Structure 1
Amino acid sequence: MRSYDIATIEGDGIGPEVCRAAVTVLTEACGTSLLRFANFDGGALHYQRSGAVLPEDTFAACNSMHAMLHGAAGLPGVTYPDGTEVGNDLHLQLRFKLDLFANVRPIRLYAGVQSPLAGFQPGQIDYVIVRENTEGLYASRGAGVNLRGEVVTDQLVITRKGTERVAKFSFDLARRRQGAPRDGKRRVTVCDKANILRSYAFFRAVCDEVAAGYADVEIDYAYADAITVHMLKKPDFYDVIVAENMFGDIISDLGAGTVGGLGIAASAELGERHGLFQGAHGSAPDIAGQNLASPVATVLSGALMLRWLGEQHGDAALLSGADRVEQAVEAVLAEGRVVPRDLGGQASCTDMTEAICRRLR
């Protein structure tokens, strides 16, 4: 049996708790012979101690191993001289150095979770937001201009290569899915502001070119402001949404809010050869070390990792493990006996971890 080496970076705040919980669940699902985890330093606290948010040995491990599993990073007041947060720089460095161009955020309403949107039942909200992860407004990271403290500029960057590959990723993903819950149609919605800015008009035009090669997938369009309304009124219409970096960042959190919040929101940052997996929530330092955090988002991110590795390596055991982890999480939530605090219950991080593992057994 083949084995896979996973670099874990526990990070700051609740990061160590939720990362260790995910490792426990993934090991229960796949066994110790299939997955081998090795922990490495990184994050805001490590920066305070050493001056490096992403040490060289940590990056080398991330570059060489099969995948990366991250807890969370960031601490209040730990910033660079320009005011930007140190913690975010951990995954931003990995994102840009390893060219993790597709940020994948599943938005799914699980059984046992109540949506704030009236009338929507489990399964009726089930789509994926694919955010271009290396260009857009965030391409200015560290390169913007602050002129005399009077004029500050950042540039929005859209390239043909960047748009083509994230669009192709999105259409390929739609082909593997079952279509939108409302009508079963495989659909990619392009989120932009093509009516105002040339950069977004170019983004849409390149997506149109890619769409021509996918006759079996419908293309749809939504302006970034209007889609925030549509995601609330007709979330069942969506299958895959592709967006520029900043817009994708914003609507991903909105989508998470419709299915239970960031505590249940998984994410994957994918490139041609590398994958980084972490919950979409922050480090929540106010509850760190108290066993209060929910590990669900990180566990579900771990399931995304198993599925990605399984597809990359043609490994049915990993694909089966991904399905089993997701089913175990949903079964625990649906049962309603062990419910994390962010979903209205009292379960601790340990309680949730043990309940998911019992389901797997």
Structure 2
Amino acid sequence: MARYEIATIAGDGIGPEVTRAAIRVLTEACGREALEFAMRPGGAAHYTRSGAVLPDDTFAACRDMHAILHGAAGLPEVTYPDGTEVGNDLHLRLRFWLDLYANVRPIQLLPGVRSPLAGVEPGGIDYVIVRENTEGLYASRGAGVLLRGEFASDTLVVTRKGTERVARFAFDLARKRTGAPRDGRRRVTVCDKANILRSYAFFRAVCTEVAADYPDVAIDYAYADAITVHLLKRPDFYDVIVAENMFGDVISDLGAATVGGMGIAPSGEIGDGHGLFQGAHGSAPDIAGQGVASPLATILSGALMLRWLGERHADPALGEAAARVEAAVDAVLAGGAAVPYDQGGSAGCETVTEAVCRALR
């Protein structure tokens, strides 16, 4: 196995705790010689001390190293004059500056986790949301108009290039998967509001054009409001969902709630040359330092990172390590001996981490 440098930003709140946990598990899975975690500062707390949420040397490390592992960023009380949170700027800047255009959110009901949806068993929910990450409504951040305290507007941006590349990412991902739990069909669902807005009708049209190059993958369509119902009523129908930035943000949190919550939801933000991996949850400053945070979302994000690195560098050992990490998490959750607080148990961050490492051994 080659050696990979990982730019690592612990960040704010529970970020340092879950980052330490992920480093420990990934080192256990890969060995000490395979991964070098280069710690770099950044986040809301760093901003209050230095005036920089993403220092230049931190960005350089993120740009030049093999991958980025991030804990969490943001403190509600640390805001810019316009009221927006400073901490969000850390990963938003990385998204735009490194062109991380595909935000990948796996939604999977794991063994030992009880879904709030009645009658759904592990394996019955297994889909991936691919959220376009650099355009949509969020492209307007910092550029919207606030006029004399009376009028505010932001611009929704959809381009052919941005839509085509995220659609291809979604269809390529569907080809790697085994299909939806309901029928085994490889399927990409386009989530939009094409019935109302021209921007979303254009998004749908471009996705449909891309689908013509993937005759082995079915294409499906759902309006953003309707899909919130479908994800509760028939989650087993879905395989890969592709959506504009804001809609993807909203439905990925809904999906996470159906499989155990944000504390178990991983994510990867991926471009053609870079990848950033972090739990889908926030910094949760209200429980920081208490040892009760679940590290599983960050650990599973680390597994996504290993798999991405393995594919990018043709290193199958990394993919095998990723599979071992995921199997260890499954074993811990199914065994019931180290269930995190957010899953109804009483195991803290250290206990859960040790249990995953023990399962790996």
TM range (shorter): over 0.9
Q: Give 2:286's aligned residue.
A: 286
Q: Deviations over 1:17-59 (max 9, x none)?
A: 0001000000000011111111000000000000000000000
4+ residue runs over 6 A deviation: none
The residue that corresponds to 1:40 in the other structure is 40
Match of 1:353 in 2: 353
2:299 matched to which residue of 1? 299
Distance 2:287 2:232 in 1: 30
> What is the rounded CA distance, in whole Å, between the counterparts of 2:144 and 2:52 in structure 1?
22
CA distance in 1, matches of 2:38, 2:353: 20
List alignment gaps of at least 5 residues for structure 1.
Answer: none
Work out the CA distance in 1 between the residues paired with 2:76 and 2:59.
24
Q: What residue number does 1:178 align with?
A: 178
- Residues 1:252 and 2:252 aligned together: yes
**Deviation per residue, 1:162-201 (Å, 9 max, x gap):** 0000000000000000000000000000000000000000
Letter in 1 for 2:42: G
Q: Secondary structure at the match of 1:46?
A: helix
Structure 2, unpaired ranges of 5+ = none
Q: State the secondary structure of the residue aligned to 2:131.
A: strand
Cα offsets for 1:254-278 (capped at 9, x unmatched): 0000000000000000000100000
Aligned equivalent of 1:212? 212
Displacement of 1:76 in angstroms is 2.2
Question: Counterpart of 1:302 in 2: which secondary structure?
Answer: helix
State how far apart, in whole Å, the 1-side matches of 2:35 and 2:12 are. Answer: 24
1:312 is aligned to: 312
Which digits, 9 at most, give the CA deviation of each residue in 1:85-126, with x for residues without a partner?
001110000000000000000000000000000011000100
Q: CA–CA distance in 2 between the matches of 1:61 and 1:95?
A: 15
Question: 2:163 is matched with which residue?
Answer: 163
The separation in 2 between residues aligned to 1:29 and 1:44, in whole angstroms, is 31
Deviation at 1:149, TM superposition (A): 1.1
Q: How far apart are the structure 2 equivalents of 1:65 and 1:32?
A: 17
Q: What amino acid sits opposite 1:276 in the alignment?
A: L
CA distance in 1 between counterparts of 2:250 and 2:194 reads 17
The answer to whether structure 1 residue 141 and structure 2 residue 141 are counterparts is yes
What CA distance in whole angstroms lies between the structure 1 residues aligned with 2:289 and 2:348? 11
User: Counterpart of 1:173 in 2: which secondary structure?
Assistant: helix
Tell me the equivalent position of 1:228: 228
RMSD: 0.4
What SS is found at the alignment partner of 2:130?
Answer: strand
Letter in 1 for 2:337: R
For residues 198-251 of structure 1, the C-alpha deviation after alignment (integer angstroms, 9 at most, x for no partner) is 000000000000000000000000000000000000000000000000000000
Q: How does 1:1-361 map to 2 (within 5 A)?
A: 1-361=1-361
Q: Secondary structure at the match of 2:333?
A: helix
Task: Output the amino acid matched with 2:342.
Answer: D
TM-score normalized with structure 1 length: 1.00
2:272 & 2:324 partners in 1: Cα distance?
A: 26
Distance 1:20 1:278 in 2: 13
TM-score, with structure 2 as normaliser = 1.00
